[in-house]
């Protein structure tokens, strides 16, 4: 085992999608992550997703990227939704 030196914070840029569960858009964790990304110069596109309807998800993503911006990164915060889904 050899320790690795910290290279510092990496540079972020471009357009990032942040997937947020419905009803969590104003949660402190969500707001903090969005603020952090924006503070590093990222164009943040928040996409609030409700349920698992693939067509609705696709439409939300299409709307978020309607200007044709290429996506540089995706941050999924969907795990913040504590809802249990029966299979």
Buried b (16+ CB within 10 A) or exposed e, 30-63: beebbeebeeeebebbebebeeeeeeeeeebbee
The pLDDT of residue 52? 73
* Cα–Cα distance for residue pair 79/83, rounded to 1 Å: 9
* Cα–Cα distance for residue pair 50/59, rounded to 1 Å: 12
- Domain positions in the chain: 15-79
The pLDDT of residue 50? 86
Give tens-digit pLDDT for 12-58: 899 999 999 999 999 999 999 999 999 999 999 999 998 778 999 99
Give tens-digit pLDDT for 48-86: 998 778 999 999 999 999 999 999 999 999 999 877 666
The pLDDT of residue 85? 65
8 pLDDT higher than 80: no
């Amino acid at each position: 085992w050899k320790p690795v030196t910290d290279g510092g914070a990496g540079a972020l840029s471009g357009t990032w999608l942040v997937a947020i569960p419905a009803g969590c858009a104003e949660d402190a964790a969500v707001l903090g992550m969005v603020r952090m990304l924006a503070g590093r110069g990222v164009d943040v596109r928040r996409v609030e997703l409700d349920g698992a309807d693939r067509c609705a998800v696709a439409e939300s993503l299409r709307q978020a990227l309607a200007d044709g911006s290429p996506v540089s990164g995706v941050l999924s915060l969907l795990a913040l939704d504590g809802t249990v889904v029966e299979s």
